[in-house]
Amino acid sequence: MIAILRDNELIDIVRKHGAITLLNRESYEGMASSIRCGVAAVKRLKTSGVVVMTCDQPGVTADHLRALTAENAAITGSAYAGRVGVPAYFPATSFDALLALDGDAGARELLRGARSIPNEALNLDIDTEEDFREAQALFEA
């Protein structure tokens, strides 16, 4: 696992679990710079693919991530809220396209028309205190 983090305490915690941590020195640019930072590191490791995901989707499960990577030669996104988004799997053949991303749009264009795995639970992402309370209620139930 490779994690791009900002908080030093969190960095220490994930390193204890075997994660490689990276510092994105271009974070001011937007989401694409984080993707490039991670993909560049993964490319050096000669992996067969990468899962791009955010940290604020409490509905993601290990089973969903496994389903995304089941066809390891195909870009595969998550379908929810009428669109295809992250988490998403990108095979090594798409690394150059990921490294060419810029700005804050992420990999949206690469996911257009891609294979997808439905999971409406991913529609909840935690951006506000209200979202956090909704996630707490969901997981307490």
* Model pLDDT for residues 41-61, shown as the tens digit of each residue: 999 998 999 999 998 999 999
Query: Does domain 2-140 bear CATH number 3.90.550.10?
Result: yes
DSSP structure string for 90-103: EEGGGHHHHHT--T
CA distance 119 to 67: 11
> Would you call 20 helix, strand, or coil by DSSP?
strand
3 vs 41, 79, 115, 120, 128, CA distance in Å?
A: 10, 23, 25, 25, 23
Which residue would you say has higher pLDDT here, 92 or 10? 92
Give the angle 51-104-134 at the CA atoms, nearest 5°. Answer: 70
* Model pLDDT for residues 75-125, shown as the tens digit of each residue: 999 999 999 999 999 999 999 999 999 988 789 999 999 999 999 999 999
Q: Return the number of other C-beta atoms located less than 10 Å from residue 68's C-beta.
A: 28
- Amino acid at the residue 42: V
pTM for the whole thing?
A: 0.86
